[in-house]
């Protein structure tokens, strides 16, 4: 009998010895999704985004064991688990909240001792939505600052000072005049340092693009200057911009196409009214991608309207892409088609603001020109900048028409397709 259980017993002993050899974390940290104070749907992705980022940044800190919401619920159902942890282990709950005002994001984090439910520390700061990496660093520094007193000396790392206790005003809350004065002084010191380094040769020889000072006169050689050339340093930003613009111009809408309702016509018993509900909306990720990945030059928000500004100092503007936007080649019209069992078009609906389509007619197809849909994205292209206005609203539409009862019984499927405005005429003629 001893021989029968010998192998499993040795295996269990080996596993336990390996487990006991691993250092137990000094801190068990439960991180919950951050609170979106204003319930702003355009930035709601930050709730889980902040949590995921913190888990990623602290995953390699062996002194900290990371837990999530499910783990906290299990602990609350059996708090006796705290009694079986190694002596000196701390259990903390991290609560975070954020709100956005245009480009500025204010973040608050709170550390709770789960054993006593007392607040251990609280921090707050402000950053910019256009600089997500810096915003992430602020949150990481805040959490590390609060955890340092409970970590072994060898695990403590220096932390940045920009994330301050909540009782102290962060830099972004200072009056605008004070911030501008500080920025001007910093720029002046940077310019002075650069000029001194150039004099002593610490930064190499002056560039050919730098002005030459002769007898108190600054002279810059601009011969052969090409004002239309692209800046190779902006290639990365430009690629990101072109990808986003491609999404905005080619497939920006999320369509909810519901089954049609069939109602008997009270006036004509041999006909039925068909009602097709459709909802148009922008894809949720569009604004999020623009906020988190593009260094836009300006941002304005008014209710559901968000306006982005992109300048040439941060992007190259390829002529082909700009012409596509400038001349409206990207504009498309929703066209709805009802097909019968044989795959033939029975009803054709063109949702266009152009009234000229009303002169089209057909003996075989019920053609309905209407205007319910409105673009939720508007582009404005200037010589120096691009302006993108996006409206985060839903456009619910009910398209209605009447058909003979026999024709209704033969309906098989319905489709909605965005047809480029400059191709709409040919598309309609092919289907009528």
Residue 244 lies in a domain: yes
> 144, 151 in Cβ contact below 8 A?
no
Q: How many domains does the chain have?
A: 2
> 81, 432 in Cβ contact below 8 A?
no
- The better pLDDT of the pair 198, 66 is held by 66
Are residues 253 and 167 part of one domain?
A: no
Written in H, E and C, the secondary structure of 109-143 is EEEEECCCCEEEEEEEEEEECCCHHHHHHHHHHHH
Query: For the ranges 110-119, 297-306, 344-353, 405-414, which has the lowest average pLDDT?
Result: 297-306
pLDDT digits (tens, 9 = 90+) for 247-275: 888 888 999 999 999 888 777 778 899 99
Are residues 374 and 273 part of one domain?
A: yes
Taking alpha carbons only, the member of 328, 333, 364, 363 closest to residue 349 is 333
Per-residue pLDDT at 172 exceeds 50? no
Residue 327 lies in a domain: yes
- The better pLDDT of the pair 87, 215 is held by 87
Residue 205 lies in a domain: no
Are residues 268 and 125 part of one domain?
A: no
Are residues 294 and 158 part of one domain?
A: no
- Residue 379 per-residue DSSP state: E
Instruction: Specify burial of residue 254 (Cβ count, 10 A radius: 0-12, 13-18, 19+).
Output: middle
Cross-strand bridge partners of residue 339:
345, 413
pLDDT digits (tens, 9 = 90+) for 192-219: 445 444 444 444 545 556 667 666 687 7
For tokens 């309906």, the residue is 411
- The better pLDDT of the pair 377, 219 is held by 377
Domain boundary pick from 173, 198, 221? 173
Are residues 241 and 106 part of one domain?
A: no
Are residues 160 and 247 part of one domain?
A: no
Q: Identify the H or E element spanning 282.
A: strand 271-282
- The better pLDDT of the pair 151, 165 is held by 151
Per-residue pLDDT at 190 exceeds 60? no
CATH number at residue 152: 3.40.50.10070
> 298, 306 in Cβ contact below 8 A?
no
Q: What is the pLDDT of residue 257?
A: 92
Distance CA 55, CA 256 (A): 35
Question: Strand, coil or helix: what is 30?
Answer: strand
Per-residue pLDDT at 166 exceeds 80? no
Query: For the ranges 95-99, 261-265, 286-290, 395-399, which has the lowest average pLDDT?
Result: 286-290
Tell me which residue range forms the domain holding 138. 20-173
Confidence of residue 115 (pLDDT cuts 50, 70, 90): confident
Residue 179 lies in a domain: no
Are residues 296 and 148 part of one domain?
A: no
Residue 357 lies in a domain: yes
Residue 190 lies in a domain: no
Residue 226 lies in a domain: no
Q: What is the pLDDT of residue 334?
A: 94
Distance CA 295, CA 241 (A): 9
Query: Which residues have CB under 8 Å from 109's CB, separation 6+?
Result: 94, 95, 96, 97, 122, 123, 124, 139, 142, 143, 146
Q: What is the pLDDT of residue 227?
A: 46
Distance CA 19, CA 226 (A): 67
Confidence of residue 116 (pLDDT cuts 50, 70, 90): confident
Q: What is the pLDDT of residue 285?
A: 80
Query: Which residues have CB under 8 Å from 130's CB, separation 6+?
Result: 103, 291, 294, 295, 296, 299
pLDDT digits (tens, 9 = 90+) for 143-162: 888 888 888 765 555 444 34
Distance CA 274, CA 346 (A): 13
Confidence of residue 181 (pLDDT cuts 50, 70, 90): very low
> 353, 259 in Cβ contact below 8 A?
no
Q: Residues of the chain with pLDDT > 70: what percent?
A: 76
Query: For the ranges 19-23, 101-105, 139-143, 306-310, which has the lowest average pLDDT?
Result: 19-23
Cross-strand bridge partners of residue 404:
271
Are residues 148 and 244 part of one domain?
A: no
Confidence of residue 362 (pLDDT cuts 50, 70, 90): confident
Virtual CA dihedral for 349, 352, 355, 358, nearest 10 degrees? -10
Distance CA 353, CA 371 (A): 5
Q: pTM to 2 decimals?
A: 0.51
Are residues 155 and 260 part of one domain?
A: no
Are residues 161 and 264 part of one domain?
A: no
Residue 223 lies in a domain: no
Are residues 246 and 140 part of one domain?
A: no
Are residues 264 and 406 part of one domain?
A: yes
Q: What is the pLDDT of residue 218?
A: 77
Confidence of residue 178 (pLDDT cuts 50, 70, 90): very low
> 62, 69 in Cβ contact below 8 A?
no
Q: What is the mean pLDDT of the chain?
A: 76
Confidence of residue 277 (pLDDT cuts 50, 70, 90): very high
Distance CA 253, CA 390 (A): 11
């Amino acid at each position: 009998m001893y021989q029968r259980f010998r192998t499993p017993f040795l295996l269990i002993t080996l596993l336990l010895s390996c487990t006991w050899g691993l250092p137990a974390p000094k801190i068990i940290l439960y991180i919950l999704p951050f609170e979106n104070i204003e319930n702003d749907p355009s930035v709601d992705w930050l709730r889980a985004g902040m949590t995921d980022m913190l888990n990623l940044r602290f995953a390699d800190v062996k002194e900290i064991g990371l837990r999530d919401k499910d783990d906290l619920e299990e602990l609350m159902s059996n708090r006796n688990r705290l009694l079986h942890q190694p002596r000196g282990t701390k259990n903390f709950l991290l609560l975070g909240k954020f709100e956005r005002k245009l480009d500025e994001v204010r973040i608050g984090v709170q550390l709770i001792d789960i054993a006593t439910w007392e607040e251990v520390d609280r921090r707050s700061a402000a950053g910019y939505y256009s600089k997500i990496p810096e915003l992430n660093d602020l949150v990481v520094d805040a959490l590390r600052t609060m955890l340092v007193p409970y970590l072994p000396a060898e695990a403590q790392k220096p932390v940045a000072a920009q994330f301050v206790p909540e009782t102290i005003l962060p830099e972004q809350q200072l009056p605008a005049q004070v911030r501008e004065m500080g920025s001007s002084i910093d720029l002046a010191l940077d310019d002075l340092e650069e000029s001194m380094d150039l004099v002593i040769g610490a930064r190499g020889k002056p560039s050919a693009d730098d002005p030459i000072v002769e007898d108190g006169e600054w002279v810059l050689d601009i011969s052969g200057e090409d004002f239309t050339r692209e800046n190779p340093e902006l290639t990365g930003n430009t690629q990101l911009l072109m990808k986003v613009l491609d999404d905005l111009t080619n497939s920006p809408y999320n369509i909810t196409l519901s089954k049609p309702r069939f109602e008997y016509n009270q006036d004509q018993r041999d006909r039925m009214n068909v009602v097709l509900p459709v909802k148009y909306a922008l894809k949720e990720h569009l604004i999020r991608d623009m906020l988190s990945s593009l260094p836009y030059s300006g941002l304005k928000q008014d209710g559901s309207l968000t306006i982005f500004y992109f300048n040439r100092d941060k992007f190259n503007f390829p002529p082909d892409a700009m012409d596509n936007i400038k001349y409206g080649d990207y504009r498309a019209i929703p066209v709805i088609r009802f097909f019968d069992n044989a795959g033939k078009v029975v009803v054709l609906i063109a949702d266009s603001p152009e009234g000229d389509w009303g002169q089209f007619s057909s003996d075989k197809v019920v053609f309905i020109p209407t205007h319910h849909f409105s673009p939720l994205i508007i582009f404005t292209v200037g010589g120096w900048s691009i302006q993108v206005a996006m409206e985060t609203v839903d456009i619910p539409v009910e398209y209605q028409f009447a058909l003979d009862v026999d024709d209704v019984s033969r309906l098989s499927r319905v489709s909605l397709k965005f047809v480029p405005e400059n191709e709409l005429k040919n598309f309609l003629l092919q289907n009528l």
